[in-house]
């Protein structure tokens, strides 16, 4: 990896914070303890802490149904929509499909529109039956917190967590790392790196426009050291209490068991157990309860770990995608090799162009550009190539290092005209040629 930064808390005290390597391969600028990194899903720990702070202030309860504050909120499963609460959303047990819906970060919809559209997400499991990792759930938790706290979610987290901890280099990633020249004093910013072909190089950051509560914050090792010190000390730092002991215990209490998946590394295994607590994963090692949260985005890998019994915690921030220590190979799963007997499209490309709509995803346009097809999705007209794959099935590939192609089959009406297409099981119907 080009660079990394580490914060280490032992016996409730920050004992090491240091940067290593370079923050930017293109310039050779060094990584420091103040270098700002995207946090990716480590942001979820701040969402849980924000909810905990609201519970401390009696503005919200862990078990309070979301509809009590947002009465127009609905889910596809009416029962889940009536009863879903902060604890459900923060532990991935609301029934949403795993790793689904991140595309909303790029389509250009506002919070209120996505809040309405989520009712069309079809559940993958029954409510509270089993967990499935969901950024949609954390977006909703952020919306619930914002309503309870009377502020937009990023401002609420700043006022309840960042400012009391003097985390001066922590905030929304799109503001802090969104450009090559960050205004003011925040020039010490890590760039995203990934292998492009055979060369490790700087790549554009994948920035959350909407799902801030799921993966949209950025911070430094120094600032994370403050946050981890707070957690290791049960909610107290510098002689001041920021979170109650009860709130910290609630964050660290397992809620629902999960099978370790591809995102979990040793020593997490079948024998360690693995559960979700609000904002955290929980396992056991040598008789100790361990809280962990990792994050990954294009060119970014992050990790927090807390051992409450030992008042021990560590943060690791790295600027290469899917970095693990020790390193292990990664792969892009794609959608399988192209069939040996693949057929060409049954029509000229112009026959597939037009405007298509879906209740969940909204309005997308299929257009012809330089002899190829592309999708222009949502109000932002988020652009992706649409490549012939096999007959009337095309491959759609969104931008980004970690993107994999999605098979998109087109359908025809009784007259043989293209009438719609399917995207991840959601049918789009054609409304204009």
CATH number listed for the domain at residues 349-432: 2.40.128.600
Tell me the pLDDT band of 329, cut-offs 50, 70 and 90: very low
CATH of 3-318 given 3.40.50.720, 3.10.20.600, 3.40.50.300, 3.40.710.10: 3.40.710.10
Tell me the pLDDT band of 401, cut-offs 50, 70 and 90: confident
Tell me the pLDDT band of 270, cut-offs 50, 70 and 90: confident
Quick: pLDDT tens for 118-163: 999 999 999 999 999 999 999 999 999 999 999 999 999 999 999 9
Whether the pLDDT of residue 336 is over 70: the answer is: no
Quick: pLDDT tens for 47-106: 999 999 999 999 999 999 999 999 999 999 999 999 999 999 999 999 999 999 999 999
Please give the mean pLDDT across all residues of the chain. 94
The full length of the chain comes to 433
Question: Which pLDDT score is estimated for 186?
Answer: 64
Q: What is each CA distance from 294 to 22, 134, 158, 253, 273, in whole angstroms?
A: 21, 14, 21, 18, 17
Please give the structure tokens belonging to residue 310: 């030992």
- The domains of the chain are located at 3-318, 349-432
**Angle subtended at Cα 142 by Cα 4 and Cα 263, rounded to the nearest 5 degrees:** 45
CB 423 within 8 A of CB 359: no
Whether the pLDDT of residue 182 is over 50: the answer is: no
Distance CA 217, CA 194 (A): 20
Tell me the pLDDT band of 335, cut-offs 50, 70 and 90: low
Distance CA 257, CA 276 (A): 6
Question: Which pLDDT score is estimated for 385?
Answer: 98
Contacts of residue 194, Cβ cutoff 8 Å, sequence gap at least 6: 200, 201, 203, 298, 299, 320, 321, 401
Q: HSE on the CB side for 135, CA within 13 Å?
A: 24
């Amino acid at each position: 990896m080009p660079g990394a930064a580490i914060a280490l808390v032992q016996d409730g005290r920050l004992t090491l914070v240091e940067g290593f390597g370079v923050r930017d391969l293109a310039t050779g600028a060094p990584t420091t303890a103040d270098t700002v990194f995207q946090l990716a899903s480590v942001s979820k720990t701040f969402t849980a802490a924000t909810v905990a702070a609201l519970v401390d202030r009696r503005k919200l309860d862990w078990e309070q149904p979301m509809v009590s504050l947002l009465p127009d909120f609905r889910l596809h499963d009416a029962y889940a929509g009536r009863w879903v609460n902060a604890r459900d959303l923060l532990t991935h047990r609301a029934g949403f499909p795993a790793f689904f819906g991140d595309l909303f970060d790029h389509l250009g919809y506002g919070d209120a529109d996505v809040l309405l559209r989520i009712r069309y997400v079809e559940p993958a499991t029954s409510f509270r039956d089993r967990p499935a990792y969901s950024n949609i759930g954390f977006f909703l938790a952020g919306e619930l917190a914002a309503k309870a706290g009377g502020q937009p979610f990023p401002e609420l987290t700043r006022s309840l967590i960042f400012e009391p901890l003097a985390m001066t280099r922590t905030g929304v990633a799109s503001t802090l790392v969104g450009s090559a020249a960050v205004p003011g004093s925040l020039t010490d910013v890590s760039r995203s790196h990934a292998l492009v072909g055979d060369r490790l190089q700087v790549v554009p950051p994948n920035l959350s426009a909407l799902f801030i509560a799921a993966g949209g914050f950025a911070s430094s090792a120094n600032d994370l050291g403050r946050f981890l010190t707070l957690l290791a000390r049960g909610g107290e730092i510098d002689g001041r209490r920021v979170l109650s002991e009860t709130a910290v215990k609630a964050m660290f209490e397992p809620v629902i068991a999960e099978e370790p998946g591809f995102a979990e590394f040793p020593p997490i295994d079948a024998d360690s157990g693995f559960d979700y607590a609000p904002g955290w994963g929980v396992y056991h090692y040598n008789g100790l309860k361990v809280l962990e949260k990792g994050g990954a985005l294009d060119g970014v890998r992050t990790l927090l770990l807390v051992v409450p019994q030992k008042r021990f915690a560590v943060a690791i921030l790295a600027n290469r995608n899917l970095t693990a220590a020790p390193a292990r190979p990664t792969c892009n799963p794609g959608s399988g090799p192209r069939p040996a007997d693949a057929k060409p499209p049954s029509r000229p490309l112009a026959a597939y162009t037009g405007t298509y709509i879906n209740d969940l995803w909204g309005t997308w346009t299929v257009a012809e550009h330089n002899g190829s097809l592309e999708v222009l999705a949502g109000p932002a007209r988020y652009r992706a190539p649409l490549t012939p794959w096999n007959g009337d099935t095309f491959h759609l590939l969104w931008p980004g290092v970690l993107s994999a192609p999605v098979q998109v089959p087109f359908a025809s009406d009784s007259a043989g005209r293209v009438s719609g297409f399917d995207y991840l099981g959601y049918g789009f119907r054609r409304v204009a040629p």
